[in-house]
Chains A and B, each alone.
Chain A
Amino acid sequence: MPSSTGAPILKAPLGVEKHRKYFDKCLLGPIPHYFATLEPSRMSLVFFLIGGMAITDSLESLKASGAGTAVADWIYMMQVEPTSENGGAAGFRSSSVLGCGEQISSASSDSPIHTLDTSHITMTYCALAALAILGDDFSRVNRAAIVQHLRSLQREDGSFQAVSYGPGMKALDFTAPGPDGQPLPGIGDSEYDMRFLFSACAVSWLLDDWSGIDQVRALEYIRQSYNYDGGFGQGPFLESHGGSTFCALASLSLMGKLDEALPDRDHTIQWLIHRQLELSYNGRPHKDEDSCYSFWVGSSIELLESGHLPDHAKIMTYLSKCQSVIGGLSSSMGGSPDPIHSYLGLCGWHLCQKHLGSAGVENLDDAPADFPLISIDTSLDMPLHSVEHMKKLHAQWKKQD
């Protein structure tokens, strides 16, 4: 089958078709009950699955069936509109788990949207990324309100919290002041760390508007989270981790500050390159390998222009073995597949394939060798052509302004 994007297709001993079916099956659902605790982050599953379809070059058939429009419409139903009750919250919610009121069913018009049913910064990133991959024109995105809302999510230390509730839903009276009588650092409406700082940067990039972030404070938070071993933790003093190192580097890259703000590039490369063990990458020293780090660590190395350094054949062999017979990838060999590891693992696969080339892939045992070569943007975790699509929209927005 020729690729619809014109990308070369390699031979097919272990089919990419299975993965396409897996992504398709999960997206249109239903998926089993053991994914229940992901309901509050269901939008991220949409992103991973739409992304998965894009990098396996099967998005066109989804769109042809009309399901592409249905997915976009569903995403827009999850958009939160700012009100005085919700404190000006904008962006996207995870799913209809708290209602969404009349947006979904006219039968429930007596159940107005509750202020608790608000947006989450990472769900906003995932929704916008999924829309971008679907080729949406963003005309229904409330860009200004989302950027404005970012300001209420940034904390004094520069990090971001995930959610901010309206005045009626704050639990401030619940928390006592700190030992010095001042409000406590860390007490707000929700968790805060490098993941959400990255989400804020990705949202700002996608909307081409950085006025929602105080970059000086954000850079200081990243700098404070840089550790003695060259990696980055989720926050100051916290252990270096493959995931938080990606979030820190990708944020710097999106802000265009990678060169000036990275304290010691060589040291970070050294830490990252040592994440590769006999099988694949781990996320911390002396921890087990996991397929998701083929993206978190792999793309971090890529961001530091050192993508040629790892032993790609080993990573690809490991990822091959994480494939499930029903399609999709699991976190380690012999596990059950899930959308997150399927997408991140295949993104990691693409990073390796780029360096190893088709000849190198053919020499691997058990390797699926028919993957379309669709380039990934390493800081946004999206296909490159979707990033190009966004750049075109950005140019249009500039003209309109």
Chain B
Amino acid sequence: MRGGPVPGRAVRAPPLQRPASGLPGQLPAEIEGKLLCEIPELSDITPLPQLETETPVVKILHSDSFDDALSYFRAIVQSGEVSMRALLITSYAAIVCPSHYSVWQYRRKLLAQLKVDPHREIEFVQAILLDNWKNYQLWYHRQQLVASIGGRSDERDITDSCFEHDAKNYHAWSHRQWFLRTYPPPSWLVEERAYCDRLLSEDVRNNSAWNQRMFVLLHTPRDHPEEFGQILTAELNYTLEKLNAAPSNESGWNYLRGLYTKFPGPWDAGFFATISASCDALLLRESQSPHLNAFMFHFYRDWAARQGDVSIMAPSVTIAKLLRDEIDTIRAKYWDMMHERVVAALAAAATTA
């Protein structure tokens, strides 16, 4: 279960319940389990089967329920029927084939014409999402619904629920970012940073959470450079602390490097000393960590470039050799190339000097 409370916003991730029947186009209890062709109220509709050529290509053997739902869907599309029973048919089609973008588009058309309350449709989406967390079309439909009510649905809740099962779900992170960018709730920056912290305290290797932390930082106002500098310093310390606890974490090192390459910040001599001292201290107990060493290799090069002083990258020569020959041999060719580059840069500098 999740750890401590998040300041400012309670993370509400209750186990999602399947909504009761009676929602728009939701399956009423009395027809649940029935095929559309078994429902008397639809008996005047002639279902249109899927047409295939004599030699179909990659024909899919569909289940009875798939053929049933799609045949009725084709029929109402052709007739242009606008009714609650047409909406019910799209429910069937969406359930058997949630990836069908045109089913959703047609459904949105019906929802608009029938003036269905989008809040109720959001509940319907929720029910299907439970079995389809990785479905592009469903999240897109949800996005349209949330937009139709002017963002008056805190979409952090549904994504919280998703992250309970899969904290790296790309669709959910994408949806969450869309919501936060389009309808930023008050004080979301503080809350979101705390939320990322919470996810990282559960799994410090959750790259999606690190990326979200960067998303927060990139949206943090920079009108007051001094204030922003303090935030960056806090981020730096936070990251070093996380890396100190788990040094072989590619995500953390990427984030650290991102901090000083993406932002003009308080990256002075003191910063350089802080990083190199932290890394040196870590090396005493984690000398064989590929990710720690890889970071140090790049850090010395980055710093040398920034200071215009090639000699700063001298330690990178030994580090590249260590990575190539002993601790990251899967990337031996890469480190060999990098080793050659550093050696060449140092030699060129020595010649000109």
Contacts and interface: CB of A to CB of B under 8 A. Distances in A.
Given A31-B59, A97-B70, A190-B140, A234 B170 contact: yes
A175 B147 contact: yes
A12 interface: no
Given A99-B48, A171-B105, A187 B60 contact: no
Given A36-B96, A171-B105, A286-B251, A176 B148 contact: yes
Contacts of A285: 205, 207, 250-251, 254
B99 A40 contact: yes
Nearest to A162: B101
Nearest to B99: A37
A344 to B, nearest CB: 17
Given A171-B108, A184-B147, A240-B211, A29 B57 contact: yes
A98 interface: yes
B59 A174 contact: no
Given A36-B60, A187-B144, A239-B173, A114 B78 contact: yes
A382 B317 CA distance: 40
A73 B106 CA distance: 29
A27 to B, nearest CB: 6
Contacts of B298: 270
Given A175-B147, A241-B170, A41 B99 contact: yes
Contact of A29 (B60, B170, B294): B60
A99 B78 contact: yes
Nearest to B214: A228
B62 A36 contact: yes
B55 A70 contact: yes
Interface stretch (B8-16, B174-182, B275-283): B174-182
Contacts of A240: 211
Interface string A25-50: 01111111101111111100110010
Contacts of A29: 56-61
B53 A309 contact: no
Interface string B88-131: 00000000111111100110110110000000000000000000
Interface in B269-296: 294
Interface stretch (A145-153, A199-207, A272-280, A357-365): A272-280
Given A238-B173, A285-B250, A186 B78 contact: no
Nearest to B64: A33
Contacts of B51: 96, 99-100, 104-105, 108
A374 interface: no
Given A39-B97, A174-B108, A285-B207, A30 B57 contact: no
A33 B215 contact: no
Interface residues on A, range: 35 or more
B101 A30 contact: no
Contact of B148 (A41, A108, A174, A314): A174
Interface in B306-349: 330-334, 337
Interface string B196-210: 000000000111100
A111 B71 CA distance: 13
Nearest to A228: B258
A173 interface: yes
A33 B65 CA distance: 11
Given A163-B101, A173-B112, A239-B211, A33 B330 contact: no
Nearest to A184: B147
B330 A174 contact: no
A241 B214 CA distance: 15
A85 interface: no
B137 interface: yes
Contact of A171 (B144, B151, B177, B332): B144
Interface string A310-345: 110010000000000000000000000001000000
Contacts of B334: 269, 273, 306, 309
Given A239-B170, A285-B205, A30 B102 contact: no
Contacts of B255: 228-229
B206 A286 contact: yes
B231 to A, nearest CB: 16
B50 interface: yes
Contacts of A26: 58
B303 interface: no
Contacts of A36: 60, 62-63, 66, 96-97
B170 A314 contact: no
Contacts of B78: 99, 111, 114
Contact of B98 (A28, A37, A77, A228): A37
A256 interface: no
Contacts of A306: 334
Contact of A70 (B57, B183, B214, B250): B57
B85 interface: no
A120 interface: yes
Interface string B241-266: 00000000011001101110110000
Given A36-B66, A111-B78, A229 B254 contact: yes
Given A97-B100, A98-B74, A111-B78, A286 B58 contact: no
Contacts of B45: none
A308 interface: yes
B61 to A, nearest CB: 4
B143 interface: yes
A104 B57 CA distance: 13
A228 B254 contact: yes
B159 to A, nearest CB: 14
Contact of A228 (B62, B105, B261, B333): B261
Contacts of A173: 112
A51 interface: no
A138 interface: no
23 contacts: A26-B58, A29-B60, A31-B61, A38-B99, A40-B97, A70-B53, A74-B55, A74-B56, A99-B51, A99-B74, A100-B51, A171-B108, A173-B112, A190-B140, A227-B214, A233-B211, A237-B214, A239-B173, A241-B170, A274-B294, A276-B330, A284-B168, A284-B208
- Please name the 3 residue pairs, one residue from A and one from B, whose CB atoms are nearest each other, closest first: A228-B258, A171-B108, A29-B59
Given A30-B60, A239-B170, A284-B208, 12 more contacts: A29-B59, A39-B60, A97-B70, A173-B112, A186-B143, A191-B101, A239-B207, A240-B211, A274-B250, A278-B330, A311-B332, A311-B333
